[in-house]
């Protein structure tokens, strides 16, 4: 096949992305993903090609320049994978991270043994967690809420055809008709302190919506609301899981513990062994709130 040879094209692309400050491993992945996107194939299919047409190489160069300027890869391709679900993403919605798949997996496991578990996903964003729950827990009654109309438009697209009740509104007032009946609450709320703006990765800081990132001086404002809402929604013995920043491995679980509404408050680590999400159980009637000070496993 005549045209522009693929291997030198990808080597140059990787070097260009590394020079732009992107990790070498991610740079190689991103280059292959972008070229595959231009060609309309999966990245693995590149192994079957030796060259691309000059027009495709030119289109690849345009996308590569945008990625080198630190535009998120998912914005350039318009899609992101979350567990077994493909999601539409782009400007105006938070791009789901692999770390959140652990929270979704915990919620899916928490539904085990219940024929029709009731689940509420707060701050649903793209609908990633809600879509995973609907996909992997047949019969679950999944409800999701998102404040941003722009983000909710992506969620509506990603949840279309799934048994999910999606609403636009403030999580603080969400689903009053479900009070005391919910089995599992999940949330990936904003949790970055306002003063930490400069420390946020360029892709997130410049392209993810601020509404999905920042949450007051200590980053815990939204998590405090999640704790109050979860206490209202959950049945006695129901559980909540909430993602947080890696520096909040003590402060985030403390938010839930100090309400007096929860027991079995634990913190969990992500695949890089960083504190990442907190779980807690709604106190049973006549029960006692328990929490061991300090992050759990």
Residue among 33, 40, 37 at smallest CA distance from 13 = 33
Residue after which a domain boundary falls, among 16, 40, 69: 69
| In a shared domain, residues 134 and 232 | yes
Tell whether 7 is in a known binding site.
no
* 250 lies in some domain: yes
| In a shared domain, residues 196 and 151 | yes
How does pLDDT run across 215-250, given as a tens digit for each residue? 778 989 999 999 999 999 999 999 999 999 989 999
CATH number, residue 210:
3.40.50.150
How does pLDDT run across 134-160, given as a tens digit for each residue? 999 999 999 999 999 999 999 999 999
| In a shared domain, residues 151 and 35 | no
Tell whether 189 is in a known binding site.
yes
Q: What is the pTM of this model?
A: 0.88
User: Quick check: 233 and 120 in contact, CB under 8 A?
Assistant: yes
Tell whether 188 is in a known binding site.
yes
CATH number, residue 35:
1.10.8
Task: Please tell me the total count of domains within the chain.
Answer: 2
Q: What is the pLDDT of residue 206?
A: 66
Q: With cut-offs at 50, 70 and 90, classify the pLDDT of residue 293.
A: very low
User: Which one is predicted more confidently, 207 or 88?
Assistant: 88
Residue after which a domain boundary falls, among 69, 95, 119: 69
Residue among 122, 141, 103, 107 at smallest CA distance from 231 = 122
The parent domain of residue 43 ranges over: 4-69
The predicted model gives 250-261 an average pLDDT of: 96
Residue after which a domain boundary falls, among 51, 69, 87: 69
Tell whether 154 is in a known binding site.
no
| In a shared domain, residues 262 and 161 | yes
Q: Which residues on adjacent β-strands are paired with residue 278?
A: 242, 267
| In a shared domain, residues 33 and 115 | no
| In a shared domain, residues 58 and 146 | no
* 296 lies in some domain: no
Q: Would you say residue 19 has pLDDT above 90?
A: yes
Measured CA to CA, the distance from residue 200 to residue 206 in angstroms comes to 9
Tell whether 190 is in a known binding site.
yes
Q: What is the pLDDT of residue 286?
A: 53
* 139 lies in some domain: yes
């Amino acid at each position: 096949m005549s045209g522009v040879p693929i291997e030198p094209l990808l080597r140059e692309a990787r070097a260009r992305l590394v020079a732009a400050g992107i990790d070498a491993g991610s740079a190689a992945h991103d280059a292959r993903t972008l070229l595959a996107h231009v060609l309309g194939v999966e990245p693995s299919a590149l192994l079957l090609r030796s060259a691309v047409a000059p027009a495709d190489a030119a289109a690849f160069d345009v996308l590569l320049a945008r990625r080198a300027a630190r535009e998120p890869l998912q914005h350039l391709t318009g899609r992101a994978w979350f567990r077994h679900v493909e999601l539409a993403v782009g400007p105006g919605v938070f791009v789901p991270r692999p770390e959140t798949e652990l929270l979704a997996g915990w919620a899916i496991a928490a539904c085990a043994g219940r024929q029709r578990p009731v689940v509420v996903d707060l701050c649903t964003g793209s609908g990633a967690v809600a879509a995973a729950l609907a996909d992997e827990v047949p019969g679950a009654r999944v409800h999701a809420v998102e404040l941003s109309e722009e983000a909710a438009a992506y969620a509506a697209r990603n949840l279309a055809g799934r048994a999910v009740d999606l609403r636009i509104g403030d999580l603080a007032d969400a689903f009053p008709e479900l009070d005391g009946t919910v089995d599992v609450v999940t949330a990936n709320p904003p949790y970055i302190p306002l003063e930490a703006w400069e420390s946020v990765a360029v892709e997130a800081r410049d392209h993810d919506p601020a509404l999905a990132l920042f949450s007051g001086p200590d980053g815990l404002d939204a998590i405090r609301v999640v704790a109050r809402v979860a206490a209202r929604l959950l049945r006695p013995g129901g559980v909540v899981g909430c993602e947080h920043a890696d520096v909040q491995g003590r402060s985030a679980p403390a938010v839930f513990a100090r309400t007096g509404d929860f027991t079995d408050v634990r913190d969990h680590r992500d695949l890089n062994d960083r504190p990442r999400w907190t779980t807690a159980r709604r106190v049973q009637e006549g029960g006692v709130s328990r929490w061991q000070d300090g992050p759990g496993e």
